[in-house]
Amino acid sequence: MKPETTFELDHLSQSSISQMQRCGRQFYLQRVARIEPAFRNAALVVGSVFHAAVASILSAVRDGIEITKDSALAALASLWEAELAVETPPIRWGKRESPDSQFKLLKAMVSTFLTDGLPAFQGVEILGIETHMRVPLVRSDGCVLETPLVAIADVIVRDADGNVTVVDFKTSGKGLSDQYVETGIQPSAYLMAAKHAGLGDARFEYHILTKKAKPSYSVVPVVRTQKDLDRLWDIAAQVERAVRHGLYMPTSPDGWACASCPWSAACRTAHVHTDAPTVAALAVA
């Protein structure tokens, strides 16, 4: 594979920052060398179809169009068919997964959203669905990173008291761990984006659908302080610096990330261009 010699970082996002933290080499293969993944993980496909189905339901609510269970499930079926029709990269199904079993799961999840999740969106103003926000990454002392932050919020709502909330939908087998909720950078990224997009000091909530035959729906409000937003800035600054110098550290090969990595074949042959000084050069300096 030909090494990349130049790469302009157009923006950072919660997912690109998290990917760099998880595995710098995967960041390189996907975003710098732009190598196609060998497959799509079924869980990601299911998550993306669920998000699209919920977005279409909420768009109808916002536009005053009546939603029935039949119409929502018909729209879901179209989205699923369209996803299955995409030939490359192929979907990698888990041992107990098949297109039928995953569609059944999706139907159960969307039905649960209609009964348990949707009412919360019917008494509020829907300000945006899949809202794209491109804002500067600003630290509390006013220092701005060269690279902007991009965040795409699933839904942004405003209640009768004027409170703005950014909602992120999660689909998960077991729900979210306490550590993920308490320390993850996603809420900080979305709250920083909302602030600089002119939405003020917004609130943030995870709305979680469990991927089970009988799914449950729960709402987890998340609090982040200015200190958390500064921590995000600090991590983003490190990522920006690493990219500038072509530093893409791979994760440990025995880690869980490699087992489901769609770039594992390319990873074995990748040659990563770097202009960072070598250890020998540093020793001489």
CB of 39 to ligand SF4, least distance (A): 12
Give the 3-state secondary structure of residue 220: strand
Nearest to 166 by CA among 136, 140, 128: 128
CB of 259 to ligand SF4, least distance (A): 8
- The secondary structure of residue 245, as a DSSP letter, is T
Give the 3-state secondary structure of residue 164: strand
* Residue closer to ligand SF4 (CB basis): 259 or 280: 259
Nearest to 92 by CA among 126, 45, 49: 45
* Residue closer to ligand SF4 (CB basis): 49 or 261: 261
CB of 172 to ligand SF4, least distance (A): 21
Q: Give the CA dihedral 233, 235, 237, 240, nearest 10 degrees.
A: -130
**160/170 Cα distance (integer angstroms):** 25
CB of 30 to ligand SF4, least distance (A): 9
- Please report, for residues 18, 32, 45, 181, 208, the alpha-carbon distance to residue 177 in angstroms, rounded to integers and kept in the order given: 16, 31, 22, 6, 12
CB of 253 to ligand SF4, least distance (A): 6
**105/210 Cα distance (integer angstroms):** 10
CA angle 170, 233, 200 (to 5 degrees): 70
Q: Name the burial class of residue 269, with classes exposed (0-12), middle (13-18) and buried (19+) by CB atoms within 10 angstroms of its CB.
A: exposed
* Residue closer to ligand SF4 (CB basis): 222 or 243: 243
Question: Which tokens go with 18?
Answer: 């998290």
* Residue closer to ligand SF4 (CB basis): 18 or 59: 18
* Residue closer to ligand SF4 (CB basis): 25 or 31: 25
- Which residues of the shown chain bind ligand SF4 in the complex (CB under 6 A)? 23, 25-26, 29, 250-251, 253, 257-258, 261, 263-264, 267
CB of 242 to ligand SF4, least distance (A): 15
CB of 142 to ligand SF4, least distance (A): 36
